[in-house]
Structures are given as C-alpha cells and as structure tokens.
Amino acid sequence: MIRKFFKWLVEPPKKTESSFDIIRWWEIRRIPYNLIVGPLGIISLIMFFVFVELSRKLEPGEDAVEPFAIILAPIAINILYTCGWMAELFLRIVWKEKSTYIGPILFKLGISLSVCAILFPSTMWFVIWIFS
C-alpha cells in the first residue's frame, strides 16, 4: 500500500492540457507532502534540542534557534512548494518534448531538498555532540 501511494505521488499527470491541470496535480499532492515533511520536521526539531543540550556547546543565555524561524519554516516550505508548479509551468514552455516528466522530477527534487533542509540542523548538532 505504501509503495502504491509513493508511485501515485510521483506519477506524471494523465491530463495536462491546461495550466489548471498542472496546478491541480501539484495541489492534490500538497497535503501528502505536508504529512511527510511536517512530522519529520517535528521529530527533527525535537532531536535538534536534544543534541544541542547533550553537546553542552551553548553558553548560558544563548539560543540554539530563533523562535521566529520555527514559526516561519512551515510557511516557507509551502511557499517553495508553490514555486514547484510555477517552475513547471515555465519549464513546459521551454521543454515541450519533456513536459510530461517535469512535474514528477521537480516534485522528487523538492521533497528531497525539503527533507535534507529539515534534517540538516539536527544532523549538524548530532555531529557536534558526537565529536565534542
């Protein structure tokens, strides 16, 4: 079932006659994207604070993260997600012959970069903790 879900998530749109079809393809996948990235972000944030605390590298009174950044992160990733379908609309004009595959490629790239960005701070502090 999970394999079927991920296959659906990245399959090319069946109908791409209009810009609306492309936007619909992306927006139908926004909720699954957020359900993948959101919980991973929460887990990463928790691990971030754990590793910051374990490393004991911050001086008293120093903040590990700007609280405003925690609030802005979900908004930022959804703005970048929207840039995915905007980029696809543009690239379909440039590469008409490969237009069927542009959306899935951009989606895979976007979700991969989102996961890397989400995991980077906790991974960085994990490495700091291990080598301290």
Tens-digit pLDDT profile for residues 41-85: 999 999 999 999 899 887 777 777 777 788 888 999 999 999 999
Please check whether residue 64 is in contact with residue 58, taking contact to mean a CB–CB distance below 8 angstroms.
yes
Distance of CA 50 to the CA centre of its chain: 22
Residue 98 scores a pLDDT above 90: no
Domains of the chain, residue spans: 17-56+65-130
pTM: 0.84
Please check whether residue 107 is in contact with residue 85, taking contact to mean a CB–CB distance below 8 angstroms.
no
Residue 1: other Cβ atoms inside 10 A: 5
Please check whether residue 112 is in contact with residue 72, taking contact to mean a CB–CB distance below 8 angstroms.
no
Which pLDDT score, from 0 to 100, does residue 70 have? 82
State the pLDDT confidence band at 114, using cuts at 50, 70 and 90. Answer: very high
Alpha-carbon Rg of the chain, whole angstroms? Answer: 18
